[in-house]
Amino acid sequence: MHCVRLALSSRCFVVSNYSRVCSQLVSIRKVMSSSRPKIFVTRDDFPGIELLKEKAEIEVFKGTQPSKDEIIAGLKGKQAIYCSLNDRIDKDVLDACKDSLKVIGTMSVGVDHLAWRLCFERGIRIGYTPIILTEAVAELTMALLLATSRRLFEAHNEILQNRWSSWSPMWMCGPGLHEATVGIFGFGRIGQEVARKLKAFRVKKIIYSRFSPGEIENDVGAIKVDADELLKESDFLIVLCSLNENTQHFFNKDRFAQMKPSAIFINVSRGGVVVQDDLIDALKRNVIKAAGLDVTTPEPLKADHPLLALPNCVVIPHIGSATYKSRNEMGEATSQNILLGLEGKPMIHEWKG
Ligand SMILES: O=C(O)C(=O)CO
């Protein structure tokens, strides 16, 4: 008869046969695995989730966009959520999981989809992904600026419609960036990187406005102006602010009316900074010349949306950070933020308000 002693937390068991030892070990393993953190992941194609699988029990939503009820159901008993800017984590969601949720990891720089003040009150930590995507979003902003001002999609469509009859002197002309005054609304990391890239286009002047007081040290000689001057002076106005109570619906009928009729409006921030019907009206009545939008309300936009019928509006589907490098690194950082947050350690990037 085999006699095996198994020591476990100061207790000592004596078991009489090998198979009983095995069954004890299985149950110990079960206890250990149930102490692994539980994480809800809101879609199955997030980069970086392999990292979570190694260290946690994860439940992955099968599909691409859980509804609020599905988020609440998925979060039941979970200590963390891996989400994106599509997933609204509001008071209802936080109330429903108030006994378990400790960490939110969002694969985005924007946090406007999160009731983050309430999270702070409840001690829920938020990991996000700034810096990683700065270059990608700044690059995309330049692409949108050029696509809109030089009418790339409109011109391509002319070919598709068989309207390219000959080279023609004034056909498909648009304003150039050279010698233009470019206004940047929201001069954070991405705004400053766009300003650096604009220098290479030899623009006349870069002006910016932001809500925080004081000028920002910048290596491109951008000049701080108030919002009224920015609206009036800009040949190109690029919106790169975050969405918050100061910026929500900032660009409305009156603000478009302050802009030059030749102005090009670019939004790579959030659809919510614009009263979209006012923008549509301004574009239809040529209050401003054109708009380039990476963000809209709602997202996704249906193909029959009035914005898409405007020849002077370029719309792309929120792809600001969509380079392979940026998205992969954002995913890795999100997983690491979550694991570090659950371990009570400093995150790579933690949103502190
Ligand atoms: O990460 C974000 O918040 C973005 O919107 C990137 O385009």
Closest atom of ligand 1 to CA, residue 108: 1
CA distance 268 to 144: 9
Question: Does 138 share its domain with 94?
Answer: no
CA 16 to ligand 1 center in whole angstroms: 61
24 in any annotated domain = no
Does a structural domain hold residue 58? yes
What pLDDT is recorded for position 34?
A: 52
> Tokens 């970086």 — which residue?
48
Residues 307 and 331 in one domain: no
**305 plus 172 within the same structural domain:** yes
One domain for residues 128 and 139: no
Q: Whose CA is nearest to atom 1 of ligand 1?
A: 108
Domain containing 245 equals: 134-315
Residues β-bridged to residue 237:
183, 265
pTM to 2 decimal places? 0.89
287-325 residue pLDDT tens: 999 999 999 999 999 999 999 999 999 999 999 999 999
For 39, the 3-state DSSP assignment is strand
Domain count, the chain: 2
For residue 136, the CA-to-ligand 1 centroid distance in Å is 10
Q: Are residues 241 and 284 in the same domain?
A: yes
* pLDDT of residue 61 exceeding 60: yes
Shared-domain flag, residues 201 and 334 = no
Compute the average pLDDT of residues 34-56: 94
Closest residue by CA, ligand 1 atom 3: 110
Predicted pLDDT at 328: 98
Q: Which of 137, 144, 296 to mutate to test the pocket of ligand 1 (most atoms within 8 A of CB)?
A: 137
Residue 253 and residue 310 in one domain: yes
Residues with a catalytic annotation lie at 318
Q: Closest Cα partner for 336 from 326, 323, 350, 324?
A: 350
pLDDT, one tens digit per residue, over 205-257 is 999 999 888 888 889 999 999 999 999 999 999 999 999 999 999 999 999 99
Quote the CA–CA distance of 114 and 299 in Å, as a whole number. 16
| Element (DSSP H or E) covering residue 253 | helix 253-258
Does the residue 329 lie in any domain?
yes
Is 202 a member of any domain? Answer: yes
Q: Is residue 2 domain-resident?
A: no
333 shares a domain with 308: no
Q: Are residues 191 and 248 both part of a single domain? A: yes
In a domain? residue 22: no
DSSP 40: E
Q: What is the mean pLDDT of the chain?
A: 92
pLDDT in tens, 118-162: 999 999 999 999 999 999 999 999 999 999 999 999 999 999 999
Q: Would you give the distance in Å from CA 240 to the centre of its chain?
A: 12
334 and 297 within one domain: no
Give the span between the Cα atoms of 55 and 262, in whole angstroms. Answer: 55
144 and 292 part of one domain: yes
Give the model confidence (pLDDT) of 255-290 as tens digits.
999 999 999 999 999 999 999 999 999 999 999 999
The answer to ipTM > 0.95 is yes
* Three-state DSSP state, 274: strand
Can you give the CATH number for the domain in which 273 is found?
A: 3.40.50.720
Q: Is the pLDDT of residue 95 over 90?
A: yes
Per-residue pLDDT for 31 more than 90? Answer: no
Packing angle between helix 189-199 and helix 134-149, nearest 10 degrees?
Answer: 50
Would you call 273 helix, strand, or coil by DSSP? helix
Q: Which two tokens stand for residue 334?
A: 């999100």
Rounded to whole angstroms, the Cα distance separating 177 from 149 reads 8
Do 45 and 56 fall into the same domain?
yes
Mutate to test the pocket of ligand 1, among 83, 133, 296 (most ligand atoms within 8 A of CB): 133
d(CA 133, CA 326): 5
Residue 347 lies in a domain: no
* Domain membership flag for residue 93: yes
Cα of 205 from ligand 1 centre, angstroms: 27
DSSP code at position 167: -
Q: Is 224 exposed, middle or buried (0-12, 13-18, 19+ CB in 10 A)?
A: middle
